[in-house]
Structure 1
Amino acid sequence: MAEGSFHAEELNTPEWLNEQFITKVLSDYEKEPSLKVTNLAFTPASPKGDHYASIMFRARVEYTIQNGNFSKSLIIKTMPVEEGNKKDMFENSPIFKTEIGMYSKVLPECERILREVGDESKLYVDCIYHSLRPRQIIIFEDLVEMGYLVVRNRWLTQEEICSAYSKLAKIHANSMKMIMERPDFLKDFRHSMYDIPAFVDGPILNGGMGPFLELLGRIPELTKYQPHFEKIRLHFKDRMREIMLGYKNNPQPGLYVLCHGDYHSRNMMFKHNKETGRLEDCMLLDFQGCIVVPMAVDLMYSIYMLMGPEQRSDELETLLNYYFSTVVETLKKIGYQGEMPTLSGFWSEMKRHRYYEFLLLSTIFPMAVGLRVYSMDLEELIYNEETRNTDQSQFNEDELVPPDWLNSEFIEGVLKSDEMETVLKVIDLTFSPASAKGDHYASIMFRAKVKYYNRKGDFEKSLIIKTMPEAEGHKKELIGGSPIFETETGLYTKVLPEFERILRQAGDGTKLYVNCIYHSLAPHQVLIFEDLVEMDYFVLRDRDGALDEIHRVYFKLAKWHAASLKVQEEEFWSACISTNTLNFFS
Structure 2
Amino acid sequence: MEQYNEDELVPPSWLDRDFIEMVLRKYKSNNTIVIENLKISPGTEKGDHFASIMFRVVATYKSPSITSESISMILKTIPEEEGFKKEVLDQMLYFETEIGMYAEEIPKLENVLRNNGDNVQFGSKILYHSLEPHKVIVFEDLVALGYTCIRDRYLNADEVKLCLSKIAKWHAASYKLLTTEGDISAKKYKEGLLSRPKNEQPEFITEGFKLLIEAISKIEEFEKYNERLRNIEPSLISKCNDIFNGNMSDGNCLIMVLNHGDLHNRNVMFKFDENNKVEDVMLVDMQISCYGPAVIDIFCSIQMLFDADLRQNHRDQMIRYYFSIFIDTLRNVKYTGKLPTLEDLYSDMIKCKEFELWLAVTLVPLICAIMSKGGNVQTEDLISSKEAQIQMYLNPDFIAELRGMLPTYFCEG
Do both share a fold (TM > 0.5)?
Answer: yes
Cα deviation for residue 323 of structure 1 reads 0.8
The answer to whether 1:381 aligns with 2:382 is yes
Q: Which of 8, 11, 17 in structure 2 is aligned with 1:10?
A: 8
The answer to whether 1:339 aligns with 2:338 is yes
Counterparts of 1:194 and 1:392 in 2: how far apart (Å)? 21
Name the SS of the counterpart of 1:128 in structure 2: strand
Distance 1:250 1:238, change over 3 A: same
Counterparts of 2:187 and 2:294 in 1: how far apart (Å)? 17
Match in the other structure for 1:304 = 303
- Tell me the alpha carbon deviations over residues 181-229 of structure 1, each in whole angstroms, 9 at most, x when there is no partner: 3253223212335455687442222232123223443233322222222
- Tell me the alpha carbon deviations over residues 356-388 of structure 1, each in whole angstroms, 9 at most, x when there is no partner: 122112111111111121355411222211111
Deviates more, 1:249-258 or 1:285-294: 249-258
Counterparts of 2:249 and 2:80 in 1: how far apart (Å)? 33
- Contact kept in structure 2, 1:232 and 1:355, CA below 8 Å: no
Distance 1:127 1:251, change over 3 A: farther
- Contact kept in structure 1, 2:198 and 2:238, CA below 8 Å: no
Q: How does 1:539-558 map to 2 (within 5 A)?
A: none
The answer to whether 1:121 aligns with 2:159 is no
Cα deviation for residue 248 of structure 1 reads 11
- Tell me the alpha carbon deviations over residues 115-137 of structure 1, each in whole angstroms, 9 at most, x when there is no partner: 11111111121111111222111
Match in the other structure for 2:403 = none
Match in the other structure for 1:243 = 243
Counterparts of 1:326 and 1:17 in 2: how far apart (Å)? 42
Distance 1:372 1:394, change over 3 A: closer
Counterparts of 1:294 and 1:394 in 2: how far apart (Å)? 32
- Tell me the alpha carbon deviations over residues 518-545 of structure 1, each in whole angstroms, 9 at most, x when there is no partner: xxxxxxxxxxxxxxxxxxxxxxxxxxxx
The answer to whether 1:217 aligns with 2:206 is no
Q: Which of 41, 44, 56 in structure 1 is aligned with 2:39?
A: 41
Q: How does 1:20-169 map to 2 (within 5 A)?
A: 20-65=18-63, 66-169=65-168
Name the SS of the counterpart of 1:130 in structure 2: strand
Distance 1:71 1:201, change over 3 A: closer
Counterparts of 2:395 and 2:316 in 1: how far apart (Å)? 34
Match in the other structure for 1:460 = none
Distance 1:86 1:267, change over 3 A: same
Cα deviation for residue 285 of structure 1 reads 0.5
Counterparts of 2:174 and 2:275 in 1: how far apart (Å)? 35
Distance 1:338 1:94, change over 3 A: farther
Distance 1:255 1:206, change over 3 A: same
Name the SS of the counterpart of 1:389 in structure 2: helix
Match in the other structure for 2:293 = 294
Counterparts of 1:265 and 1:82 in 2: how far apart (Å)? 28
Match in the other structure for 2:363 = 364
Cα deviation for residue 324 of structure 1 reads 0.9
- For the pair shown, which has the larger CA radius of gyration, 1 or 2? 1
Counterparts of 1:233 and 1:198 in 2: how far apart (Å)? 12
The answer to whether 1:390 aligns with 2:391 is yes
- The aligned amino acid for 1:192 is G
Cα deviation for residue 166 of structure 1 reads 1.1
Counterparts of 1:81 and 1:161 in 2: how far apart (Å)? 36
Deviates more, 1:51-60 or 1:180-189: 180-189
- Contact kept in structure 2, 1:98 and 1:188, CA below 8 Å: no
Counterparts of 1:144 and 1:203 in 2: how far apart (Å)? 34
Counterparts of 1:272 and 1:361 in 2: how far apart (Å)? 30
Match in the other structure for 2:271 = 271
Distance 1:352 1:168, change over 3 A: same
- Tell me the alpha carbon deviations over residues 152-191 of structure 1, each in whole angstroms, 9 at most, x when there is no partner: 1222121111111111111111111122132532232123
- Tell me the alpha carbon deviations over residues 227-280 of structure 1, each in whole angstroms, 9 at most, x when there is no partner: 22211112112101101112799972421111111100110100001x222222
Cα deviation for residue 391 of structure 1 reads 6.2
Counterparts of 2:82 and 2:392 in 1: how far apart (Å)? 31
Counterparts of 1:394 and 1:126 in 2: how far apart (Å)? 39
Distance 1:146 1:391, change over 3 A: closer
Q: Percent identity?
A: 33
Runs of 5+ unmatched residues, structure 1? 398-586
Name the SS of the counterpart of 1:303 in structure 2: helix
Q: How does 1:254-265 map to 2 (within 5 A)?
A: 254-265=254-265
Distance 1:291 1:391, change over 3 A: closer
Distance 1:108 1:248, change over 3 A: farther
Match in the other structure for 2:208 = 208
Name the SS of the counterpart of 1:257 in structure 2: strand
Counterparts of 1:212 and 1:333 in 2: how far apart (Å)? 45
Match in the other structure for 1:352 = 351
Name the SS of the counterpart of 1:235 in structure 2: helix
TM-score, L = length of structure 1: 0.64
Aligned-residue CA RMSD (Å): 2.3
- The aligned amino acid for 1:151 is I
Higher RCO (CA 8 Å, separation ≥ 6 residues)? 2
Distance 1:247 1:18, change over 3 A: farther
Distance 1:60 1:249, change over 3 A: farther
Counterparts of 1:297 and 1:106 in 2: how far apart (Å)? 18
- Tell me the alpha carbon deviations over residues 379-438 of structure 1, each in whole angstroms, 9 at most, x when there is no partner: 12222111111268689x9xxxxxxxxxxxxxxxxxxxxxxxxxxxxxxxxxxxxxxxxx
- The aligned amino acid for 2:329 is T
Name the SS of the counterpart of 1:252 in structure 2: coil
> How many residues are matched?
393
Deviates more, 1:381-390 or 1:283-292: 381-390
Name the SS of the counterpart of 1:32 in structure 2: coil
